[in-house]
Amino acid sequence: MSGTLNKVMLIGHLGDEVKMHYFEGGGCIGRFPLATNETYTSKQTNERVTNTEWHNIVVRNKAAEVCEKYLGKGDKVYIEGRIKTRKWQDESGNDRYSTEIQCTDFTFLTTKNDGGNASSNQQQSQQNQSSQSAKPRQEPITPKPEVDMPDDDLPF
Amino acid sequence: MSGTLNKVMLIGHLGDEVKMHYFEGGGCIGRFPLATNETYTSKQTNERVTNTEWHNIVVRNKAAEVCEKYLGKGDKVYIEGRIKTRKWQDESGNDRYSTEIQCTDFTFLTTKNDGGNASSNQQQSQQNQSSQSAKPRQEPITPKPEVDMPDDDLPF
Amino acid sequence: MSGTLNKVMLIGHLGDEVKMHYFEGGGCIGRFPLATNETYTSKQTNERVTNTEWHNIVVRNKAAEVCEKYLGKGDKVYIEGRIKTRKWQDESGNDRYSTEIQCTDFTFLTTKNDGGNASSNQQQSQQNQSSQSAKPRQEPITPKPEVDMPDDDLPF
Amino acid sequence: MSGTLNKVMLIGHLGDEVKMHYFEGGGCIGRFPLATNETYTSKQTNERVTNTEWHNIVVRNKAAEVCEKYLGKGDKVYIEGRIKTRKWQDESGNDRYSTEIQCTDFTFLTTKNDGGNASSNQQQSQQNQSSQSAKPRQEPITPKPEVDMPDDDLPF
DNA sequence: TTTT
DNA sequence: TTTT
C-alpha cells in the first residue's frame, strides 16, 4: 500500500524543555512544543500581524535523548516528520483529537549551551564567560533517529 | 519575527468531494479530507499493518474552484501547505482544537475525468467509452493560489 | 559539522529505463533520467511556454532493484533525495561537474504494468487485455533504501 | 501541463558574499554559493568523514536585494527553490552544464549584523558592544520574491 | 471517508 | 529522453 506522502518540515523555537517519558521495554519518547511564526500585513488595518503556530513534536528513543541533551527552551531547530492525529476520549467520553508531529529527522540550529538562546540562562551565562575554544560540544548534530518501539496506543 | 518554516507536503487520496463555502466579499474556500497511508510490519505479530492518516485540507479562492472542478472523491493529489491549528469552543464551552492544512500549492496526480478514479462513476463511465483524444481537459493543472480574504476567525 | 539540510523532492516522469550497475562487493546502483516541467506564460509573446528540466537520479542497492523492477520509461514517481555534484576530468584534463540526485526515498505513482504508462508497450498491451484482478503486483511500493556501499569515486 | 514537482530545500552557510547583477530593464539577480555538509562514519576506516556540497543559489529582483542587504559570507540561511541546469558552450565549443538553485523563498537564520557570523567582523564587533534594543533591523525576514524578468538565456 |  |  501507499504511493502516498506525509511529510512535515518545520523550523521553529522550542516553547519549553524536552519532556521525556521512559517505557518499561527500554524505549522512550521526548515531547516539546515548537513555535513557528507567520507575519503578514493585514489588508483591513494595514498593520503587521504575527501569528504563532504551536506544533507538538514527538521524538523517539536515541533521538529523543539527543534532543533532551542539546535542546532547551528557546532553541531553534529544524524538524522533519509526519503528521499524526491521535484520537482519545475526554472525561465526558467525547472523541477528541490531538495532532502531533512525529519527528523522523532533525538538525539543531542552536543548542542549549551556545549562547544563541536567551532563555537557557544559567548555562548561557557560563557560556558567555568562556572562550570560543571552550565550546567543544556545541556544534549542531544530526543523528538518525532509530525507532524500536510500538508506534501506537501511547497512554498519553 | 519569522526565520521559521511551516511546510507540509502530502500525496494522498480524497476521501470525499471538495466542499465549497462562499463568502459575501466574493472569496471562497474549499475543504476536503485527504488520506495518506503508512505501512509497516508489526514487530509483535509480524503482520503487515496499514495506518491511514486523515488530513483536513483547506484551499482558498481560485485555487479552491480549480480543485472543485478537477478533483473528486478518490483522486490523488500532491498538496503543499502550512499546518494551522484552530481553537474553538464546543457546546460545553471547552476549548477544542482542530488542525488543518492550509494549501499553498498543489498538483493533480489524477482528476475526476481521467479514468484513474474508480469512484467518479458517471463521468468515468463516459470516460471509458471515449477515445483518448476526447480527453481535452484532463491534464494536471497547477495554478498558483491567490489569497484575497481574511485568514482568521472562519465561522466553521 | 552539519546543522545543514540538503533535500530535493521531485515528481516527474522517467525519460528512459532504469540502468543498473553491479559492483564486486555485491552492491549496485540504478540510474535514470527524470523529467519535471515548468509551464508559464511568456510576458514577451503572451504564449504558454513549457520548460523541461532533466534530473539524473541515482538509487542504491535494494532500492535500485525495486525501481528497476517496477519503473519503466514514462512512469511517474516521487523522488526524495540529496543534491550531489561530482567533479571529474574530461579527456582534455579539464574539470567537469555533473549534478545528480541521490535518492533516499521514493513512491511510485505509476508502475510498468499498470496501464498508466503509454510507453511500456509490450507489457501494457498485455495489461490492457487482462482483468483488473490480474494485476496483483502493481500497487505502489515504498521501500526504505539501504545503503551498504562506498558513496564516492564511482567510476562513471 | 505539469503534474510534476521540482523542489529543493537547503539550510547552509554562504561561502561568499551575494554578487549582484543588474539588467537594463530594471531587474536584477543575486548569486552566492551555499555549503551544506554531510557527515558519516566510513565503514572502511571507521573515521568520521565530512563532505561539503556547494550549491549555486540564484535569487531575483527584490528578493536578491534583500539577500544582499542582510546576508554575508558565513551566514546561515534556509533556501527553497527549483533545480535548473543551464547548458552552455565552453571555448572549445563543447556542451557544458551548470546546475543552479533558483530561489523561490528563503528565511534568514543569521544575518550580517547579528553576531552569529564570524566573518562579518567589523559589524559584529559593533554589534557586541550594543544593547539588544539597538538591533532594530536584525530580525530574520522572509519576503516573497517577485519575478519580473526573463528566465532564460542569462549571459553568465 | 481514500487508495493499494 | 518524459508527461500533458
Q: Which subunits have 3 or more CB–CB pairs within 8 Å of chain D?
A: A, B, C
Select the more confidently predicted residue: D132 or A67: A67
Q: How many Cα atoms occupy the beta-carbon half-sphere of A52 within 13 Å?
A: 9
pLDDT recorded at residue D29: 97
Q: CA-to-C1' distance for D63 and E2, Å?
A: 40
- Residues 6 or more apart whose CB falls under 8 angstroms from that of A69 comprise A112
The share of chain C scoring above pLDDT 70, in percent, equals 72
Write the DSSP symbol of residue A118.
Answer: T
- Residues 6 or more apart whose CB falls under 8 angstroms from that of C32 comprise C14, C15, C16, C17, C18, C19, C57, C67, C71
A9/D contact by beta carbon, under 8 A:
yes
CA A47 to chain centre: 30
Q: Which residue of D has its CA nearest to A114?
A: D116
pLDDT recorded at residue A115: 57
Q: What are the C-alpha distances in Å from B53 to residues A64, A82, B35, B156, C60?
A: 23, 10, 6, 22, 29
3-state SS class at D40: strand
Give the integer Cα–Cα distance in Å for B88 and B94.
8
Find which of B4, B106, B147 to mutate to test the D interface (most D CBs within 10 Å of its CB).
Answer: B4
**Which protein residue has its CA closest to C1' of F3?**
C13
User: Which three cell numbers mark D115?
Assistant: 553576531
Tell if the CB–CB gap between A2 and C141 is shorter than 8 Å.
yes
Radius of gyration of chain C (CA): 18
CATH architecture observed for domain C8-153: Beta Barrel (2.40)
Best CA proximity match to D30, nearest among D20, D15, D16, D17: D20
pTM of the predicted protein model: 0.78
**Shortest alpha-carbon distance between residue A33 and chain C (Å):** 20
Residue C34: nearest nucleotide (C-alpha to C1'): F2
Residues of chain A found within 8 Å of residue C7, distances taken between Cβ atoms: 9
What is the sign, positive or negative, of the torsion defined by CA atoms of C23, C27, C32, C38?
negative
Q: What is the mean pLDDT of chain C?
A: 77
**Which protein residue has its CA closest to C1' of E2?**
B15
pLDDT recorded at residue A89: 86
B142/D contact by beta carbon, under 8 A:
yes
Best CA proximity match to A59, nearest among A35, A31, A80: A31
DSSP B40-83: EE-TTT--EEEEEEEEEEEEEHHHHHHHHHH--TT-EEEEEEEE
Gap between the terminal Cα atoms of chain C: 29
Rounded mean pLDDT, C88-117: 85
| Residue C125, pLDDT above cutoff 90 | no
B10 closest CB neighbour out of A6, A78, A85: A6
| Residue D48, pLDDT above cutoff 80 | yes
Rounded mean pLDDT, B85-105: 91
Q: What ranges do the domains of chain A cover?
A: 8-153
D78/A contact by beta carbon, under 8 A:
yes
pLDDT recorded at residue C112: 85
| Residue D14, pLDDT above cutoff 90 | yes
pLDDT recorded at residue C67: 96
Place B147 in a pLDDT band, splitting at 50, 70 and 90. very low
pLDDT recorded at residue D142: 47
Cβ neighbours, 10 Å, residue A95: 8
pLDDT recorded at residue C30: 97
pLDDT recorded at residue D115: 57
A11/D contact by beta carbon, under 8 A:
yes
Bases along strand E below 7 A from a protein CB: 1-4
Interface of A with D in 94-133 (CB under 8 A): 107, 109, 116
pLDDT recorded at residue D41: 86
DSSP A4-67: -EEEEEEEEEESSPPEEEE-TTS-EEEEEEEEEEEEEE-TTT--EEEEEEEEEEEEEHHHHHHH
Place B140 in a pLDDT band, splitting at 50, 70 and 90. very low
D142/B contact by beta carbon, under 8 A:
yes
Place D92 in a pLDDT band, splitting at 50, 70 and 90. confident
Amino acid at A31: R
User: CA angle, corner D97, sides to C22 and D105, nearest 5?
Assistant: 100
User: Which three cell numbers mark B75?
Assistant: 483522486
pLDDT recorded at residue C1: 44
Overall residue count recorded for chain B in this entry: 156
Bases along strand F below 7 A from a protein CB: 1-4
B6 near B83, Cβ under 8 Å?
Answer: yes
| Residue B54, pLDDT above cutoff 70 | yes
Give the integer Cα–Cα distance in Å for B109 and B23.
29
User: Which three cell numbers mark D154?
Assistant: 542569462
Block mean pLDDT (10 aa), chain A, length 156: 88 97 96 95 88 97 97 97 92 88 96 58 30 34 42 36
Give the integer Cα–Cα distance in Å for B95 and C79.
40
Q: CA-to-C1' distance for B115 and E1, Å?
A: 20
User: Which three cell numbers mark C57?
Assistant: 537520479
Residues of chain B found within 8 Å of residue D9, distances taken between Cβ atoms: 7
Residues of chain C found within 8 Å of residue D94, distances taken between Cβ atoms: 90
Q: Which residues pair with C101 in a beta bridge?
A: C57, C83
Q: Which pairs with CB-CB distance under 8 Å and at least 24 residues apart come from C83-90?
A: C83/C6, C83/C8, C83/D8, C83/D53, C83/D55, C83/D83, C83/D99, C84/C58, C84/D53, C85/D53, C85/D54, C85/D99, C86/C154, C90/D94
Q: What are the C-alpha distances in Å from C133 to residues A112, A139, B75, C124, D106?
A: 57, 55, 20, 15, 48
Select the more confidently predicted residue: B63 or B156: B63
Place C144 in a pLDDT band, splitting at 50, 70 and 90. very low
Longest CA span, chain D = 57
| Residue D130, pLDDT above cutoff 50 | no
B9 near A42, Cβ under 8 Å?
Answer: no
The share of chain B scoring above pLDDT 90, in percent, equals 56
